[in-house]
């Protein structure tokens, strides 16, 4: 969806550079890499200094969930603004730079989420399964791609939100639906993590 948004924006940055739409996802990877260093070198040492302990893996995963949902919400707001610009003046095009904030937010969320998830699996799975724990993330990503494809197909069949020309659709409604799903998923995560901690006491 972000690539489709990028294709509908003004991708010219400066007088000569045209940002490739297919590479827009790299922004979240770059922000993840940068923020991982910030977490490791600045935030976690400061947290440990003031609190005497590091945040738990479950807390970090939870923060990652919140930031990912926030990133999708910002994507919905950006798309709403883009559609208003297009409908009010079809000759105007939003700059691709508007896509940076949601992508950066998602990247920061991943820097909380994925390392903590790997650490959680490695710490909590039996020793015989620890070598398998690092593969859990890749398996979850693979499943999520299949589920997202199925969701997009269903939305495409059931609504007019995702036509071939996104300027005629409501991609922002699709993003808000993802925010709702993400919010429900986060509440489910809170329930599971709370019950998990209770079983450990």
- pLDDT for res 199: 46
Which superfamily, per CATH, for 2-200? MFS general substrate transporter like domains (1.20.1250.20)
Task: Break the chain into its structural domains and give their ranges.
Answer: 2-200
pLDDT in tens, 118-155: 888 888 878 777 777 777 778 888 998 899 999 999 99
Q: What is the DSSP string of the chain?
A: -HHHHHHTSB-EETTTEE--GGGTTHHHHHHHHHHHHHIIIIIHHHHHHHHSSPPPHHHHHHHHHHHHHHHHHHHHHHHHHHHHHHHH-TT---BGGGGHHHHHHHHHHHHHHHHHHHHHHHHHS-GGGHHHHHHHHHHHHHHHHHHHHHHHHHHHHH-SSS-SSGGGS-HHHHHHHHHHHHHHHHHHHHHHHHHHHHHH-
Say what the pLDDT of residue 173 is.
96
Q: What is the pLDDT of residue 33?
A: 93
d(CA 44, CA 84): 41
In which residue ranges of the chain is pLDDT below 70?
197-201
| Separation CA 155–CA 163 (nearest Å) | 10
The pLDDT of residue 118 is: 85
List Cα–Cα distances, 54 to 26, 30, 50, 51, 60, in angstroms.
30, 25, 10, 8, 10
- pTM for this structure? 0.89
Residue with the two structure tokens 């996802």 = 25
Res 132: pLDDT? 77
């Amino acid at each position: 969806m972000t690539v489709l948004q990028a294709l509908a924006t003004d991708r010219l940055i400066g007088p000569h550079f045209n940002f490739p739409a297919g590479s827009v996802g790299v922004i979240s990877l770059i922000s993840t890499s940068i923020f991982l260093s910030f977490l490791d070198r600045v935030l976690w040492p400061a947290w440990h200094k003031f609190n005497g302990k590091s945040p738990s893996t479950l807390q970090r995963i939870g923060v990652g969930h919140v930031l990912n949902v926030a990133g999708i919400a910002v994507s919905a707001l950006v798309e709403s603004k883009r559609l208003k610009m297009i409908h009010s003046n079809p000759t105007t095009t939003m700059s691709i730079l508007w896509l940076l904030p949601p992508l950066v937010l998602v990247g920061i969320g991943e820097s909380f989420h994925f390392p903590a998830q790997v650490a959680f699996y490695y710490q909590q799975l039996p020793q015989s399964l620890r070598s398998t724990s690092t593969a859990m993330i890749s398996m979850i990503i693979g499943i999520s791609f299949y589920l997202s494809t199925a969701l997009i197909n269903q939305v495409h069949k059931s609504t007019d939100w995702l036509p071939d020309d996104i300027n005629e659709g409501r991609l922002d409604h699709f993003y808000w639906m993802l925010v709702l799903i993400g919010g429900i998923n986060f509440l489910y995560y809170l329930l599971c993590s709370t019950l998990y901690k209770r079983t450990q006491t």
